[in-house]
Amino acid sequence: MNAALLVELHTEELPPKSLKALSQAFAREITDQLIRAQLITHDLRERHVFGSPRRLGVLLSPVQDCGPAVPFRQKLMPVAIGLDAQGRATPALTKKLNALGIAAEPARLERESDGKQETLVYSGVRPGVPLAAGLQAALDRALGSLPVGKPMSYQLADGVTTVQFVRPAHRLIALHGEQVVAIKALGLSAGRETFGHRFHAPQPIFIRSAQSYPKQLEQGHVIASFEERRARMLAMIEAHAARLKAEPVMPAELIDEVAALVEWPVVYESGFDEEFLQVPHECLILTMQQNQKYFALKDSSGQLLNRFLLVSNIEAADPSQIIAGNARVVRARLADARFFYEQDRKHPLDSRLPQLADVVYHNRLGSQLERIERLTAIAVAIARELGADLAHVERAARLAKADLRTAMVGEFPELQGTMGMHYARHDRESEDVAVAIEQHYRPRFAGDQLPSSTVGLCVALGDKLEALAGLFGIGEHPTGDKDPYALRRHALGVLRMLIEAQLPLPLPRLLQAAFEPFGERFGPQPREELAGFLFDRLRGLLQERGYSTLEVEAVVSLAPSRIDQVPAMLEAVRAFSQMAEADSLAAANKRIGNILKKAGTAGEPAFDSFDPALMFEPAERDLWAAFGRVAPQAERLLAAADYTGTLRALAPLKEPVDRFFDDVMVMVEDAGLRANRLALLAQLRSLMNRIADLSLLAAA
């Protein structure tokens, strides 16, 4: 029989931040295991994932009540071991057959030879997996593999048995069509009873069939599908905001969390006293989001309104008490934020700097105050390179971490930098200093904006380079998927600023500035490791932007000094690849590299000096003449940063290079002549590889 299959686990309130992942993993594992058991053998027409505050579930259709029988062949053992002299089964064969559940006379067993010995083989048909057995195994696997950080231990009703799960489970439903599937989990036996909304439908709900489940739950004021509940909630929020001509502040994480907190979302509007708008809006928004899970509202100009939207789990005929109650709660929360703000402003930012000596940055790298000194030195060194305002860069760098000692940041660590900006403005610091304090954490994540000013860029680079240099210096490298200090993010931030802000900062000089404040504490190895780490991150960043692995490797393998010029170099490589001469020149470059490498490892005399007077073959004279014409033009284009033009200028070398390899023997017996020809090739390869290692573009 084919029918829809429903599995639901009814629990106490599940952790809202994990609900989406839990429900998806639960449904995915059950589906995959049933497919493996061939209980789902056709295209799956329906798959509904359920996840609400008090349930995980999945609805699949169609599902068979028994999998198909499967022919199989089982190798048993060598004939000499399995049969005695009279052809009867030995105890070893009998034991093997019993263990496999095979009832077969020795005469029915086949024999198979591998050229050395004969082996007994059983051919038969394995019965299909019954749904109850297949679903039991699938559910056990799903429950055992859920992404649960730390499960709860709780006792069952018998007062003796202890089980573990993310939250205590109370009921289990398993329906195939209208029939209960006899399975067990977490001390529960499957039935058809569940519960709807805790307040609107407190009586048990008996599910008639797998297909009726979503409708019956909705009648019980539960929208079981996380995605459907989320979409309905968003539509309500947007409708309320439209009536108010406002824009809701809706970060994706908050939307998911609120959708996981309610079974029957209802949106109401409430507000707070207008006087609270004197507090920085970031504080108010974060207070509403983190403490109360509210959606703040902004007007058309982006200014915060003293109104907000709340999502309730109760649909009330008269919601006035809900609205008023939430207004009272948020008033107390905002009063706390205002108190922190007012107390913090009584002391200027720079007065908090000595307190950073008591804040440990890293037990092997000292305090935050020591870190500030290093950060400032790096930022000022960068400012000198860029011609930025040294006084403003130094001031912004010194104050960058001062807000860590404020009450507001102590309550809301997410506001570090933001509060520093507001307090700096209150202290009448220069505007670019205040903005740089907020922006020096940028970019915080992939796609985040970069600092908008040169002062901000200097401090942001100083912040990330200090962290990279210090942590690489003490051996705290990212390993595998572990990166506790977000060094990959810091490295990508440095690279993005260099590239997107087009900062003309040579990487070796940047690394020197980053390690100098640490004095002689670290040797040269951490700097080399950090350079390699940055180039590895650069490879990934460029490939994400659409460049091929070969294009990226051709440029990055030469460890370019100016990271800001790398995109232009890549475009030049891409343009070079379209030239008719590209394949031939790349192949010649690869051949030259192989010859020079082999000559170097063979202990050849130095071939770094070339004497034109030693040439006598027409082909090598032609190549030298072509080199003399191309090199000055290529160097001029390279000096002007015209990388595409530089590579295109190599085109006239194709024919003389090809003719050289056709007519000239490089590795001749005469050592002087051999060294001279190697020197010519070395100069040629150097010219060709000023922008990229063209040999990497050659066909394998």
* Whether pLDDT at 604 is above 80: no
Over residues 352-382, the pLDDT tens digits come to: 999 999 999 999 999 999 999 999 999 999 9
What is the fold, at CATH topology level, of the domain defined by 570-697?
Answer: Isoleucyl-tRNA Synthetase; Domain 1 (1.10.730)
**Comparison of pLDDT for 371 and 446, the residue scoring more:** 371
CATH among 1.10.530, 1.10.3470, 3.20.20, 1.10.3210 for 349-546:
1.10.3210
Q: At what angle do helices 507-515 and 368-386 cross, to 10 degrees?
A: 150
162-165 and 304-312 as β-strands: parallel, antiparallel, unpaired? unpaired
Confidence band of 107 (pLDDT split at 50, 70, 90)? confident
Residue 22: its pLDDT value, please? 96
- CATH of span 2-67+130-219: 3.30.70
Separation of alpha carbons 163 and 225, rounded Å: 27
| 266 neighbors 315 (Cβ within 8 angstroms) | yes
Separation of alpha carbons 270 and 139, rounded Å: 44
Cα angle for residues 603, 588, 535 (degrees, 5° grid)? 80
Q: Is 552 helix (H, G, I), strand (E, B) or coil?
A: helix
Residue 70: its pLDDT value, please? 83
Residue 1: its pLDDT value, please? 78
Domain extent listing, the chain:
2-67+130-219, 70-126, 226-344, 349-546, 570-697
Residue 600: its pLDDT value, please? 78
Over residues 633-667, the pLDDT tens digits come to: 999 999 999 999 999 999 999 999 999 999 999 99
Give φ, ψ of 183 to 5 degrees: -130, 165
Average pLDDT score over residue span 240-245: 95
Residue 630: its pLDDT value, please? 96
**Comparison of pLDDT for 541 and 75, the residue scoring more:** 541
Neighbours of 687 (CB within 10 A): 18
pTM recorded for the entire structure = 0.82
**Comparison of pLDDT for 315 and 148, the residue scoring more:** 315
C-alpha distances (whole Å) from 241 to each of 300, 309, 418 are 11, 8, 27
Over residues 27-45, the pLDDT tens digits come to: 999 999 999 999 997 778 8
